[in-house]
């Protein structure tokens, strides 16, 4: 990826726009006043630039990373809200969401988030939440891949818990039909337009064969491929995902522009080139209200960008912890030690120093 000054300007403009109030704040944001794009303007003004710089560098060599980070924010928000619960590792008291079936061997970008957190802690210690880093990383990832720019509302705090069972329950499956998809989004307060707009994130990134191979050979136990798959595309996919193969190969979601956030996801659906069943069903369910939305976005990238921006902000507001709830984690993969534990640790280390002193006399 080449150095692109337009992208830098786009990021800078976002923040200048907030200050000058030159850009309209999306309605979905103004109805949720607890987050604020200027939340860290005094305590960590360099935050967006740290995130941008690290992601710009990473995405020069890892073109897939922006997609992986947008997905990480989605998988965070759909499970007890946007609280960085997805980042917590297994410990004696935490059962990590990373072990849930939609996440296992699938999530990427955890190390990149840690790299950002380390840089942010150095610049502004104990100030910025991991949940906000995830939201900012998603916003920057969109800009880096030529997608829309939005003003990221901030001020989320990090959870003290994770919920693997809820991750299994709330994250939608690639074989969901339209009714199931709609209800999975409705649980999060997201409507049909949000469903279609956010599914547009499948305009980049990859999916493993095992997640859609049934469509290629034995759809719904018919012994035949999914009839809503274009036949030439079917042949390409069959080459990439052989019958009875291990299912571990990764295929581009968008065969036309695999690493760009654009409207091609929708033009692909219009010609039966959706990769997952949950993608194609938005266009191929007879009589569905989603068809006209796919057509609108497929024919007008600005309309898609406008909706994607609003729906990402709406998703980023799901059940956020603010004020005194939760905490600002020091390390994104672990909750902070309780102050009683810290006190104990301090007492112990003081005791051991004193013991050393005594013994050395």
Q: Are the beta carbons of 72 and 84 closer than 8 angstroms? A: no
Residue in 99, 174, 255, 258 binding ligand HEM, rule: CB under 6 A: 174
DSSP tag of 256: S
Residue in 207, 213, 229, 321 binding ligand HEM, rule: CB under 6 A: 207
Q: 41 among the known binding-site residues? A: no
CB within 8 A of 163, min separation 6: which ones? 79, 80, 85, 95, 97
Q: 81 among the known binding-site residues? A: yes
**Active site (annotated) includes residue 63:** no
Q: What whole-number distance in Å separates Cα of residue 85 and Cα of residue 338?
A: 17
Does residue number 103 form part of the binding site for ligand HEM (CB under 6 A)? no
Q: Which is nearer to ligand HEM, 142 or 163 (CB)?
A: 142
Q: What whole-number distance in Å separates Cα of residue 287 and Cα of residue 231?
A: 23
Q: 174 among the known binding-site residues? A: no
Q: What whole-number distance in Å separates Cα of residue 3 and Cα of residue 255?
A: 25
Q: 226 among the known binding-site residues? A: no
- 199 membership: H or E segment, kind and range: helix 192-199
For 146, left (φ over 0), alpha (ψ -120 to 50), or beta?
Answer: left
**Nearest to 47, CA basis, from 58, 39, 36:** 39
Does residue number 147 form part of the binding site for ligand HEM (CB under 6 A)? no
Q: Which is nearer to ligand HEM, 257 or 331 (CB)?
A: 257
Residues 38-97 that bind ligand HEM (CB under 6 A): 64, 67-68, 70-71, 74
Q: Hey, what are 274's tokens?
A: 């959706």
Q: Binding residues for ligand HEM, how many (CB under 6 A)? A: 24
Does residue number 141 form part of the binding site for ligand HEM (CB under 6 A)? no
Residues 266-305 that bind ligand HEM (CB under 6 A): 276, 278
Active-site annotation, residues: 75
Residues that bind ligand HEM (CB under 6 A): 64, 67-68, 70-71, 74, 106, 108, 172-174, 176, 181, 198-199, 201-202, 205-208, 211, 276, 278
């Amino acid at each position: 990826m080449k150095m692109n000054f337009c992208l830098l300007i786009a990021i800078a403009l976002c923040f200048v726009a907030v200050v000058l109030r030159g850009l309209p704040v999306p309605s979905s944001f103004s109805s949720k006043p607890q987050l604020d794009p200027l939340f860290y303007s005094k305590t960590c003004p360099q935050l967006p630039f740290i995130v941008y710089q690290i992601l710009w560098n990473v995405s020069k060599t890892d073109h897939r990373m922006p997609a992986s980070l947008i997905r990480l924010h989605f998988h965070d928000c759909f499970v007890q809200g946007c609280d960085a619960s997805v980042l917590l590792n297994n410990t004696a008291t935490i059962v990590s969401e990373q072990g849930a079936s939609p996440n296992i061997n699938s999530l990427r970008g955890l190390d990149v988030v840690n790299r950002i957190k380390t840089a942010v802690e150095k610049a502004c210690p104990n100030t910025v939440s991991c949940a906000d880093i995830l939201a900012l990383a998603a916003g920057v990832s969109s800009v880096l891949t030529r997608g829309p720019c939005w003003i990221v509302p901030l001020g989320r705090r990090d959870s003290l818990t994770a919920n693997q069972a809820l991750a299994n329950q709330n994250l939608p499956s690639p074989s969901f039909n339209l009714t199931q998809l709609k209800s999975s989004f409705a649980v999060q307060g997201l409507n049909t337009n949000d469903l279609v707009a956010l599914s547009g994130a499948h305009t980049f990134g990859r999916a493993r064969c095992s997640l859609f191979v049934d469509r290629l050979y034995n759809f719904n136990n018919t012994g035949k491929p999914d009839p809503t798959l274009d036949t030439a595309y079917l042949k390409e996919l069959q080459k990439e995902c052989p019958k009875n193969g291990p299912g571990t190969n990764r295929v581009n979601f968008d065969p036309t522009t695999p690493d760009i956030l654009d409207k091609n996801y929708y033009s692909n659906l219009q010609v039966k080139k959706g990769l997952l069943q949950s993608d194609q069903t938005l266009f191929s369910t007879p009589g569905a209200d989603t068809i006209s939305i796919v057509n609108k976005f497929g024919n007008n990238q600005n309309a898609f960008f406008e909706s994607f921006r609003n729906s990402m902000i709406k998703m980023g507001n799901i059940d956020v912890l603010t004020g005194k709830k939760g905490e600002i984690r020091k390390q994104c993969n672990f909750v902070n030690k309780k102050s009683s534990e810290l006190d104990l640790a301090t007492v112990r280390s003081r005791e051991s120093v004193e013991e050393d002193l005594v013994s050395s006399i």
